[in-house]
A and B are shown apart, each in its own frame.
Chain A
Amino acid sequence: MGDVLVFAEHQGGHFPKTTLVAVNAGLEVARKRSGNCLAVIMGEGAENAAAEIAKFGVSKVIVLEDPRLEHHLADAAAQALASLIKSTGAETMLATATAMGKDLMPRLAARLNAPMASEIIAINDDGTFVRPMYAGNALATIELDGPVRVVTVRGTAFDAVKPTETAAPIEKVKAELDPASLKMEFVSFNEIKSDRPQLTEARIVVSGGRGLKSGENFKTVLEPLVDEMGAAMGASRAAVDAGFVPNDLQVGQTGKVVAPELYVAVGISGAIQHLAGMKDSKTIVAINKDEEAPIFSVADYGLVADLFKAVPEMVEAMKKIKH
């Protein structure tokens, strides 16, 4: 039986959409491998989170317990998960390719001597997976050999799982850790607080690029549009590198991948590395003063205009629609 173990990442007991996506992908793998899908959870607030995730169609929730797992540290987490995979006999370990999933899963794969496919976007009936390479310019069909395999899924490629009527049983397991080999220490987390929707969960994303010219302009020009649209804010690498906005807003090959219903690119040229992170959005709008900008080649609606004029106008036009 090809059981699947899903790493249920949470923030102090709350599940981001990316975790519900992982559960859904895990259920699909389990179905195709005639196995069960189990969720594993650890860290601060895990107990409440376990009760929550139990309602999403998994057959069991395992809570890994140990004070050393309170903060996410890859060395401890990989050890604990590796023993659990061995004791459960699971065939597939699955997580979403969030910063945490990317940090942890390859380390776990190495510990299990198991091959790993990163950021899969499809699960084939024959057990192979599909994943993008070359910034999305190629789609590879991947086969992983061996009794155990590790995958991360792309958060935009699967739907979030829907809750069910019944709740799965919860089992607490004491984590197997060898304290002498654990050397990583959590110091602090400098959270970027925002009242806006999360970039990877929002229905609408408005992103700004180097065309905005300053952090100040992000605040005074772009943010009114972001808020008028109830959107999440994103950015190009150029805008992040220039210090206009924090790094976790970067959309692209090496930042976050998003696929909202509406993506509005403002003052972004559309380099391949940026397109890699947003070209699966349902509707794409580009506002750029250069009519030759490559972003227009993926945009459903393009407006050739000076953003400093167009964006404030758009805020006003949005207000009218609402009334």
Chain B
Amino acid sequence: MKILVPVKRVPDPATTIRVLADGSGIATDNVKWVINPFDEIAIEEALRIKEKQGAGEVILISIGQQTWQEQLRTGLAMGADRAILIRSETPLDTLAIARAIAKVATDEKPGIVMIGKQAIDDDSNQVGQMIAEMLGWPQATFASKVEIAGEKCTVVREADGGLETIAFPLPAVITTDLRLNEPRYASLPGIMKARKKPLAEIAVDSLGVDLAPKLKIKALNAPAKRQAGRKVASVDELVEVLHTEAKVI
């Protein structure tokens, strides 16, 4: 089975994010760029399915600039078979990203689009669900366990108040949550091999899908900073101030 895994380049989660004074974006000097952590989980899951089935192909896809090759190469070094970079010099909104990925899925015909539940830069949590609707496929969001038997798939999902199990036929979109697996590191031989793996580039305009932005970011502002309070010397003092000063207990 072919598995298509979207990969987004995002600031390392450990980076301190600073909004530019003119509100046009975030400061990118000193930012280390990585694969979106949820996409790493998606790559790992796709590789495990391929390994278990003993056959198949894991294809990475990004819609971004040339620099995004770095993250695609890292994904190839983890073990993915090939990558597609859809070149777009400007960032697109979630609908356009989903349309572009859905178009490639229509051409490539994967059994699964395995995708991160959320990009940790825009925190939208939208693209996977949108792709599923555009393709008319079932969706399993926030997956913490995936089981495949023939053409049928069963997923345990992280819902509010418990774990939900759903079942559906493939092809389908599965969005990954933190508990699904622990992604592997790229090995040294993996990194060597990745250099020779195919990485195709196509211009986003050549896909023939509607890319017109419908969601516009008018401004970006830094949030009000919370003031640090004070240290208390003992448990008794803590409980006392909570009772008499903050009046919360």
Interface residues of A (CB under 8 A from B): 11, 73-75, 78, 97-100, 102-111, 113-119, 128, 132-146, 181, 183-192, 204, 229, 237, 240-241, 247-248, 253-254, 261-262, 272-273, 279, 282-285, 291, 296-305, 310, 313-314, 317-318, 320-321
Contact = CB atoms under 8 A, between A and B. Distances in A.
Contacts of B133: 75, 78, 106-108, 110-111
A204 B228 contact: no
B130 A189 contact: no
Contacts of B169: 183
A107 B166 contact: no
Contacts of B121: 133-134
A109 B95 contact: yes
A262 B248 contact: yes
B166 A187 contact: yes
B101 to A, nearest CB: 12
Given A110-B131, A135-B13, 9 more contacts: A11-B161, A102-B142, A110-B130, A134-B17, A192-B163, A204-B248, A254-B120, A273-B13, A317-B235
Contacts of A305: 235
Given A241-B179, A314-B239, A283 B141 contact: no
Interface in B199-242: 213-223, 226, 228-232, 234-236, 238-239, 241-242
A187 B142 CA distance: 16
Interface of B: 11, 13, 16-19, 26, 38, 93-95, 98, 117-118, 120-134, 136-139, 141-142, 144, 154, 158-169, 172, 177-179, 213-223, 226, 228-232, 234-236, 238-239, 241-243, 246, 248-249
Contacts of A106: 94, 124-130, 133
B108 to A, nearest CB: 19
A25 to B, nearest CB: 18
B246 to A, nearest CB: 5
Given A118-B123, A302-B232, A321-B249, A191 B161 contact: yes
B97 to A, nearest CB: 11
B168 A116 contact: no
Contacts of B177: 247, 254
Contacts of B93: 115
Contact of A302 (B26, B179, B230, B248): B230
A103 B159 CA distance: 9
A301 B214 contact: no
Contact of A113 (B13, B95, B236): B95
A304 B232 CA distance: 8
24 contacts: A75-B132, A102-B142, A103-B129, A103-B139, A107-B133, A115-B94, A115-B95, A116-B95, A116-B215, A117-B215, A118-B124, A134-B11, A134-B121, A137-B223, A143-B215, A186-B166, A190-B162, A240-B178, A241-B178, A254-B118, A254-B178, A285-B238, A302-B229, A321-B239
